[in-house]
Amino acid sequence: MHFTGRTWRPPYEAHSVIIQAASGCAYQKCRFCNLYKGECFKISPIEEFEEDLAEIKSYQPYARRIFWTGANPFVMSYENLKLRALTVRDYLIKCRTMAMFASIRDIKDKEVWQLRKLKAMGINGLSIGVESGDEETLSLANKGYTPADILEQCRKLEEADIEYYFVFMTGLAGKGGGYRNAVNSAELFSKLNPYFISVDSLTLFPDTEFYQMAQAGQFIPAGEKERIRELQVFINHLNIRTHVFANTVSNYAPVTAYLPYEREKVTSELQYVIDHTAEQTMRDYRANLKSLG
Ligand code: SF4
């Protein structure tokens, strides 16, 4: 297999077959992120992709879901995605879905008819690290798109019936911004239909712009209890039926909720943590984290 650099897949793709479609990140400008630091973005040559498919076929000929690695393989042109999707089907005859990370920016150059065709070829299950739906927070984190872009591009996915998952990040708005970020993000996401929302919490790593800004006093990180309150507000304002998975290591108190049914149960669980845990205990936990997720 031709894996190079950092190979990263979401926890919920643990049962998918993994193939490298791209490596690194085509954007590299989010102020909190060090995931692909120092790696050049590269789309895997189709020959390598095909060789890997042949290898996968030799041990998992009936694989049903395949995850394409790289921060955003969906940045590829429609023609390139189509070629690869059809090639997957040549090798893995039972493969039903091809999932991958995508950015809001990557959807912009694709028409709805193209998205529909990609869906028909098996591309489905896009993990989108939107992180926020709040204009100020998106700009602070330098995500490269606005709430209006999120709405417009995800509606295209919905028209094409492509399933997508969001990542929301608490703490991203900095100290004092959590409530605004939670309300505005929940209101925006409630106009859409993300299949589920995964939640991370900001951790500052020394090789990120946010860390440098924090050192210079230009970014004041939110406290740990503020982040948990932010998650409570986010859950309370989400007005759609969806799953929230706030259970990655960056969440001090891991919780999951099927909304709206488990709204009260999970916000009470979070309140218990706020009431019974010292801020310093939570800060010590974060200080030992080694990665974003
Ligand atoms: S968050 Fe995603 S898009 Fe932003 S720099 Fe990191 S990998 Fe790239």
Q: Whose CA is nearest to atom 3 of ligand 1?
A: 27
- How far apart, in Å, are the Cα atoms of 266 and each of 118, 188, 202, 231, 270? 37, 21, 21, 10, 6
Nearest atom of ligand 1 to the alpha carbon of 36: 7
Please provide the average confidence, as pLDDT, over all residues in the chain: 95
What confidence score (pLDDT) does residue 17 get?
96
What confidence score (pLDDT) does residue 4 get?
85
Q: State if residue 22 touches ligand 1 by the CB under 6 angstroms criterion.
A: no
**Residues 26-85: tens digit of each pLDDT:** 999 999 999 888 888 999 999 999 999 999 999 999 999 999 998 899 999 999 999 999
What confidence score (pLDDT) does residue 79 get?
98
Q: Where are the domains of the chain?
A: 11-286
What confidence score (pLDDT) does residue 37 get?
86
What confidence score (pLDDT) does residue 71 get?
86
Using the predicted structure, report yes or no on whether residue 292 has a pLDDT greater than 80: no
On whether the CB atoms of residues 245 and 234 are closer than 8 A, the answer is: no
What confidence score (pLDDT) does residue 5 get?
74
Using the predicted structure, report yes or no on whether residue 229 has a pLDDT greater than 70: yes
What confidence score (pLDDT) does residue 293 get?
59
Q: State if residue 130 touches ligand 1 by the CB under 6 angstroms criterion.
A: no
Higher pLDDT, 11 or 269: 269
Using the predicted structure, report yes or no on whether residue 11 has a pLDDT greater than 90: no
Q: State if residue 248 touches ligand 1 by the CB under 6 angstroms criterion.
A: no
Query: In the numeric block, which tokens belong to residue 132?
Result: 């926020």
On whether the CB atoms of residues 18 and 67 are closer than 8 A, the answer is: yes
Query: In the numeric block, which tokens belong to residue 55?
Result: 């290898």
- How far apart, in Å, are the Cα atoms of 42 and each of 29, 71, 76, 135? 16, 10, 10, 30
Instruction: Tell me which of 3.30.360.10, 3.20.20.70, 3.30.70.1400, 3.30.1360.10 is the CATH number of domain 11-286.
Output: 3.20.20.70
**Residues 139-183: tens digit of each pLDDT:** 999 999 999 999 999 999 999 999 999 999 999 999 999 999 999
Q: What is the largest CA-CA distance in the chain?
A: 56
Using the predicted structure, report yes or no on whether residue 21 has a pLDDT greater than 80: yes
pTM of full prediction above 0.85: yes
- How many Å lie between the centroid of ligand 1 and the Cα of residue 265? 33
Query: In the numeric block, which tokens belong to residue 118?
Result: 């990609």
Q: Where are the alpha helices (DSSP H) in 160-238?
A: 178-189, 209-215, 224-237
Q: State if residue 24 touches ligand 1 by the CB under 6 angstroms criterion.
A: no
